[in-house]
Structure 1
Amino acid sequence: MVPELSVVIPMYNEEEVLPLLVERLRPLLDGMGTSYEVVAVDDGSRDLTAALLQRYHREWPALRVVRLRANAGHQAAISAGLVSALGDYVVTIDADLQDPPEIIPRMLAAARDDGVDVVYGVRNDRSTDTWFKRVSAQAFYKLIGLMSQTPAHADAGDYRLMSRATVDAINSLPEHNRVLRFIVPALNFPSDTVEYKREERAAGDSKYPLLKMVKLSLDSLTGFSTAPLRLATFAGFGGAVLAVLLVLYTLISRSQGHTVAGWTSTVAIVAGVGAVQLVCVGILGEYIGRMYGHMQGRPTYFIAYDSMTADSGAHGPTDTPLPAQPNGAAIRTAPGATEPVAEPGHAPEPQPSQLRG
């Protein structure tokens, strides 16, 4: 039976906090009166996390264990959990208990009552974080917002509830090194927020040291903005203007006899060639930016309802984008059929049995 709720928890060397997490999470989910599963993603832990998960799995049937072959990183572990989750609603939460699991019922109630696809857990009190972390986070989110126009909340991390339509949309994206705290807001699905106080880490050490935070920042910046590429364009045009002014200055200086032989031509040639190079680099940056956006493959829209699909008797709206084929055809499953059929205008490939006949 498909559960209504899935809770995805990425884990890396969490043997100290894992018993505390199970002690708080299991009674909470059992008391919610809804079917659920817990998807624990072991991100290549080197301690006893894997063994403890197997023990708890035998005692707790709703606990699923997904183990990655090697440490792939926090965001990759969450992505693996989203692919594995089966619930109609999916919650992502870290294992360190800084984000209290007791907020999950409020998130689910908000999604049901308001009919939204995403409910963000927003920290209204971050006094447990260091001053540097609070200030750097605020500055980073403002920078990303200015450069990419992505409406990500500065106090919302990876603690969120998502509908099945949202999870399917995320799983359909082909890009690597995804940063979900910006991808989810970029989808612009209807959303709501639930506030909570951020707590101290229950046990163990932080898995996000400064170097990993810097890498996450770089992935976020390059994954959601082409502004760094456009710096070359602006520099190119600015350099061209300066080159023109410099050439005018050399000509005026030469006419007034303030130059030595060969100085005017040398400065003019260097300035002109430099300006052309900067403009060319800027143009290349614009094309690379377009290729970069195309390679990300993010759909420009998601269909939430189609009257033709509803009238034909198909169950549920078509929220997941259709996979694009090499020839540009979109493959969909016809209502009542078990095999995919090609869209009009694209003939399906012959099957081996047809070739033999």
Structure 2
Amino acid sequence: MTTPVVTLVVPCYNEEAVLPYTMEILQQYLEELINEQFISNRSKILFVDDGSKDQTWNLIYKAALKTEIIRGLKLAGNAGHQNALLAGMFAAKSTADCVISLDADLQDDISVIREFILKYKEGYEIVYGVRRKRDTDTLFKRKTAEGFYKLMGKMGVNLVYNHADYRLMSKRSLEELERFDEVNLFLRGIVPLIGFQSTSVYYDRKERTAGETKYPLKKMLSFAFNGITSFSVTPIRFVLLTGCTFFFVSLIVLSYFLVLKFFGRTEIGWTSLIASIWLIGGLQLMAIGLIGEYIGKVYQESKRRPKYIVDIDLFNLANPKQLKNQDDAEDLLYNGLSELN
């Protein structure tokens, strides 16, 4: 196999604190692989700005002016991590033989990128980056993450255990991924559905060098719930089973109290009545809410809205400096960068 064209796709949201370090490290590493002729000299690093409110895009634009190896893609608004990832991968597949996605904080060990590419050269279409252990996580995060993977497995969802979004995908697998036209995306569950030959590479996750995590507890719970409801109807079946169970239990209790009434041993009980009303009422609200969540997803899918909108694409430009010749509105966007021309 000839040296492949590789593109690293890095989604970014308010990453100005860590981005200069990330750019330097990734550029050095990719240039090293190019100099060894391990990958093609047409390989790139594509940073995707997911509607950041800080200086993230300006840093990407400056870097793209300085070096050919760094390119940028600016989304019109915050589309979410999964959609930003898709935007970068789909933009890169037009010129790359394979695409490697990773986070901007570089907690995922980039030294295994070499192993990713070796596996690709061996014929694997998808290579998953899998954590050996979760020692850097808090006890709560570690246990909840492990519980999530186990729960998804029991629901019949094929997930790669301890794998996030650090992976290599070939051009062919990306073309197939693009056929999944759903709005509610859960890439960790969708990618294994493609079915092409895949393997895993194991690594140890590092501490974040700067900035703050973009996945606090609230977002992690939302992400997990989205994954569950996007791939399985088991929660609805569980509610149905719970309802049937309580129905039969209530029949048994009713029969018991009828027997007591027949023998004249019943007493008027306010506590048991109120407790049962609250219990059944709570179950009904939970069931309605869960069904509403699924209906909401159907509603979102039916509208067929785009997953993301690209504002500025530096990846497909031969020279990012040509943007400086656009109208005054865009000149204002790049105000203060003229010294780099």
TM-score (structure 1 length as normaliser): 0.68
Q: Kindly, what percent of the aligned residue pairs are identical?
A: 36
- Cα deviation for residue 295 of structure 1 reads 9.0
Aligned residue among 136, 142, 146 for 1:134: 142
Give the alignment partner of residue 33 of structure 1, picking from 39, 56, 60: 39
Instruction: Determine the C-alpha separation between the residues in 1 that align with 2:161 and 2:301.
Output: 24
Residue 222 (structure 1) shift: 1.3
AA of the residue aligned to 2:121 = R
1:76 aligns with 2:77: no
Distance 2:104 2:248 in 1: 55
- Matching residue within 136, 156, 164 for 1:157: 164
CA distance in 2, matches of 1:74, 1:97: 15
RMSD, aligned CA:
3.3
Query: Would the aligned equivalents of 1:137 and 1:154 in 2 still touch at CA under 8 Å?
Result: no
1:63 corresponds, among 62, 67, 70, to: 70
Instruction: Output the amino acid matched with 1:119.
Output: V
Residue 97 (str. 1) matches residue 106 (str. 2): yes
Q: Deviations over 1:276-297 (max 9, x none)?
A: x98xx89x96xx9799799979
SS at match of 1:10: strand
Q: Deviations along 1:53-107, whole A, 9 cap, x unmatched?
A: 1111112223221111222221121121122122221110011111122221210
CA 1:127 to 1:257, structure 2 compared with 1: closer, same or farther past 3 Å? closer
Higher relative contact order (CA closer than 8 Å, sequence separation 6+): 2
Deviation at 1:193, TM superposition (A): 0.9
User: 2:174 and 2:258 mapped to 1: Cα distance?
Assistant: 64
Choose 1 or 2 for highest CA Rg: 1
Q: 1:259 to 1:45 in 2, by over 3 A?
A: closer
Counterpart check, 1:215 vs 2:216: no
SS at match of 1:248: helix
Deviations 1:94-124 (A, max 9, x none): 11111122221210111221x2221111122
Pairwise CA distance, 1:49: 1.2
5+ long unaligned stretches in structure 1: 261-266, 298-357
CA offsets 1:289-325 (integer angstroms, 9 cap, x no match): 799799979xxxxxxxxxxxxxxxxxxxxxxxxxxxx
CA distance in 1, matches of 2:195, 2:252: 46
Tell me the equivalent position of 1:11. 12
- Quickly say closer, same or farther: Cα 1:257–1:126, change in 2 above 3 A: closer
Q: Counterpart in 2 of 1:107?
A: 116
User: Distance between the aligned counterparts of 1:11 and 1:291, measured in 2?
Assistant: 28
Q: Which amino acid aligns with 1:117?
A: E
CA drift of 1:253 comes to: 3.9
Partners of 1:123 and 1:150 in 2: CA distance: 19
- The alignment status of 1:201 with 2:202, answered yes or no, reads no
Q: Is the 8 A contact 2:120 2:127 kept in 1?
A: yes
Does the 8 Å CA contact 1:151/1:185 hold for their aligned counterparts? Answer: yes
Question: Aligned pairs, how many?
Answer: 279
Q: How far 1:43 moved relative to its partner?
A: 0.8
